[in-house]
Amino acid sequence: MPEGIIIKALSGYYYVKPLREGLIATEEEAVQCRGRGILKKKGIAPLVGDRIKYVLTENGEGMVDELLPRESELIRPQVANVKLAVLLFSVREPDMNLNLLDKFLVHIEHSGLETLIVLTKQDLADDEGEATALVKALYERIGYEVMVTSSLTGSGSDELRNRLAGMISVFSGQSGVGKSTLLNRLVPGLELETGEISLRLGRGRHTTRHVELMDIGNGGFVADTPGFSQLDFLELGVEELSTCFREFASYAERCKFRGCSHLHEPGCHVIQAVNTGEIAGSRYDHYKLFYNEMKDKKRRY
């Protein structure tokens, strides 16, 4: 029975690229498949990124017969077997939003994926890149990988394409940061629709309609996902929040009280690290903001 990977799910159909000796046969056409009724009865829903076994039918289409074990699963966007989350945030238009970046990082830390922060539109920076350099230094000090790109000049595109080789990545981030433009740079001839930026609102029109894996060469696939204007914390327990701020870890284990919230407890080493500048004040401020937001949401729900 042939194996394949779902690269798109649309209107009840799954579009499957065949696997040959464990590798995606990128040169072959995708097979249009339906899911077997037994999967639905078992409550199993195939996702984009799933590796599956399928059977070919007489009309040249296929039937998804079995899902192979998943290495990872994202709830939103719904994609399976993603290894790397690429968070795109623009230097300008819209302006850098570190609050939203930290909120995305919390969700990615919780999902267990690797993270790559990509700062886009470097060509629009009007400070000779000083603000970008500060943001890059801040997050690299925490331990995140950061790249700077310009879709206008193509700067950073080759480096990013090489980084994404041989894996499924998910692109996400602030609306209007140029996800589609960057993907068009990575994949010549892709010609994704790009959205104009509303300067008054400071955000872009959502141009992506569904999740789809795009072949960027060298065995790399990117899931281009609908843009988010906000994220909520309903799937995350408030007691898990501090573990999603990776720079807290070495200090939190020395806190005086087990289960320390890092907000007001005496002997809190996280608060001490903030006061001495070892933990960035912006990150801690966002931690407190998210903590209160989560507590408020739990009360309402």
Q: What is the DSSP string of 2-13?
A: -EEEEEEEETTE
CB 209 within 8 A of CB 202: no
Delimiting residues of CATH 2.40.50.140 domain(s) in the chain: 3-69
Q: Is 180 annotated as a binding residue?
A: yes
Residue 122: the pLDDT is: 65
The number of beta carbons lying within 10 Å of the beta carbon of residue 208 is 19
Cβ(126)–Cβ(155) under 8 Å? no
Give the ranges where 173-245 is alpha helix by DSSP (H): 179-186
Q: Was 260 annotated as part of a binding site? A: yes
Residue 125 has a pLDDT of 62
Query: Is 16 within 8 Å of 6 (Cβ atoms)?
Result: yes
Known binder of ligand: residue 207?
no
- In angstroms, the CA 287 to CA 245 distance is 8
Please indicate if the annotation marks 42 as binding a ligand. Answer: no
* Start and end residues for every CATH 3.40.50.300 domain found in the chain: 79-224
- Determine the CATH number of domain 79-224: 3.40.50.300
Residue 129 labeled ligand binder: no
Amino acid at 65: D
* Residue corresponding to tokens 């281009």: 224
- Entry pTM: 0.82
pLDDT at 7: 92
155 is annotated as contributing to ligand binding: no
Q: For residue 274, how far is the Cα from the chain centroid?
A: 28
Q: How far apart are CA 152 and CA 237, in angstroms?
A: 41
- Burial readout 84-113 (b: 16 or more C-beta within 10 A, e: otherwise): bbbbbbbbbbbebbbebbbbbbbbbbbbeb
Nearest to 141 by CA among 282, 242, 261, 241: 282
What lies within 8 Å, CB to CB, of 90 at 6+ separation is 96, 119, 120, 121, 124, 174, 176, 177, 178
Question: Is residue 179 a known part of a binding site?
Answer: yes
Q: What homologous superfamily is domain 3-69 in, according to CATH?
A: Nucleic acid-binding proteins (2.40.50.140)
DSSP for residue 68: P
pLDDT in tens, the chain (301 residues): 899 999 999 888 999 998 877 767 667 888 999 888 777 778 888 999 999 999 998 888 999 999 999 998 877 668 899 999 899 888 766 677 899 999 999 988 988 889 999 988 666 666 667 888 889 999 999 999 999 987 677 788 889 999 998 889 988 877 777 777 787 778 776 666 554 333 333 334 444 456 788 888 878 888 865 544 446 666 788 899 999 999 999 999 999 999 999 999 999 999 999 999 999 999 999 999 999 999 888 777 6
Annotated binding-site residue? 16: no
Residues of CATH 1.10.40.50 domain(s) within the chain?
A: 238-300
Please tell me whether 174 is known to bind a ligand: yes
- The fold for domain 238-300 equals Ribonucleotide Reductase Protein R1; domain 1 (1.10.40)
Would the annotation count 295 as a binding residue? no
Q: DSSP 3-state helix, strand, coil percentages of the chain (rounded to 5)?
A: 30, 25, 45
